[in-house]
Amino acid sequence: MRRLVFATSLVVLGCSSARPVTAAPEAQPALRFGVDTHLHLTMAQAAKPIFKGEAGDGRLTRSPRNRLENQVDAAGLRASGVRLVYGAMWPPLNLRPGFSRLEDALEQARQLVRFSSRRGDFVLVRTAQEARAVVAHGAIAVFPQLEGGEGIESVEDVDRLYAAGVRCVTVVHFESTQLGGAAAGQLSRALFGGGGDAREPLGLTPLGRDVIRRMMALGVVIDLAHASDALVKEVLELTEAAGVPVLVSHTGARALNPMERNLPDELARRVAAGGGLIGLSLFDAQLAVGPKDFLSGQHQVGTCDDLVAHWKHFAQVVPPSSLVLGSDFNGFVFRPVAGGQCPSGLRHAGDLTELWAALTANGFSREALDGMGDALLRLHEAVEAKADAQAQAHALRFAREVRAARSALDEVP
């Protein structure tokens, strides 16, 4: 039943009426060094045959209401100044016969390697130093990001993911797992607009605590998107004590939309105070703004005006330099439609220039927007500085031993 419900959520398409277009902000040049902390580059493989197209194959959706067709291309990212991205890998909910969730995650890491081999504009990186070098040479740097730790059943599983190149793990995804609690009401919100004010009481499990400690030891960025408040608080207790910053890769402001998946002000302050970053999603269900008396007469609901409102709210709570883009392009989300301050809507990566113009028109400094890439690399450098070289060496050695053992078994008649 769970598979049927989830599959239904991927194929149900919505409709949108035309929105009036207000005066567009003055066009802005590409950012100096923009980022996207959550987009999918290999969804055509992960969700085959439902999802169509990938960056570089010439297929690009023309509608923000199409969530089953590619929304990312190198030209669009470059035109907007996005030079550093997190390539999110999403293991389906046990939809592949013969694959465990961990094996599926490792296979998706291999898919991302193959994608980079096919599409030379995108280069996988493992460290901040590598990312700087790739960007300096004109390519788009990609940190592999695992969206959901469902397959992690032991600390050794984290070692295998690290050895496979994963450098960011979203601790939980749609469901609470053996690691801890996921935000309440996510699937009901996606399917039926529900979710409301429900909260998930589960925080970190004992295994979840061990996994967080291992991620810090390996220098893997901890991503708290999709997490319950209880899990976020318990992770922050561990990371704050260790001096390790965290990421919330794609979220919205709970003050404007009360779903638990959106970040409340008090936790946003703690994330930013620890040197962490908050990525703003394009998912319209997260961006819906209320109460209506918050809106100005010029605000066009359902357009990028909603996203600007969330960005403006967070900028009153944390330094604007703590805010980045976490689009969720190719993540099966409906995006802001045409109108408001983004005349084209946010159909695909090439429309991000309209978002930068809207943010600038609303008082955001180009310095903060241009510096998103530097901010993300500083976060990585801080995480890497707290890593344990012996733990990293052990993880690589352990992964080699696992591969050798499996290879030997394959050779047995």
DSSP string, 141-173: EEEEEEE--TT--SHHHHHHHHHTT--EEES--
State the pLDDT confidence band at 131, using cuts at 50, 70 and 90: very high
Q: Would you state the CATH architecture of domain 30-254+274-403?
A: Alpha-Beta Barrel (3.20)
Chain-centroid distance of CA 256 in Å reads 20
Answer yes or no: is pLDDT of 4 > 90. no
pLDDT digits (tens, 9 = 90+) for 193-251: 545 678 999 999 999 999 999 999 999 999 999 999 999 999 999 999 999 999 999 99
Burial zone of 12 (CB within 10 Å; 0-12 exposed, 13-18 middle, 19+ buried): exposed
d(CA 267, CA 276): 11
Helix (H, G, I), strand (E, B) or coil at 58: coil
Answer yes or no: is pLDDT of 17 > 50. no
More confident residue, 402 or 158: 158
Give the pLDDT score at 6. Answer: 43
pLDDT digits (tens, 9 = 90+) for 260-309: 999 999 999 999 999 999 999 999 999 988 656 556 678 999 999 999 99
**Average pLDDT of the residues of the chain:** 90
More confident residue, 13 or 164: 164
Give the pLDDT score at 364. Answer: 95
Give the pLDDT score at 186. Answer: 86
Helix (H, G, I), strand (E, B) or coil at 373: helix
d(CA 411, CA 413): 6
d(CA 74, CA 405): 39
The mean pLDDT value for 73-100 works out to 86
The mean pLDDT value for 139-160 works out to 97
State the pLDDT confidence band at 99, using cuts at 50, 70 and 90: confident
What does the angle CA 203 – CA 276 – CA 121 come to, to the nearest 5 degrees?
110
Give the pLDDT score at 11. Answer: 40
pLDDT digits (tens, 9 = 90+) for 329-350: 999 999 999 999 999 999 999 9
The mean pLDDT value for 83-97 works out to 80
Q: Which residue's entry shows tokens 């998706």?
A: 108
State the pLDDT confidence band at 408, using cuts at 50, 70 and 90: low
d(CA 14, CA 26): 31
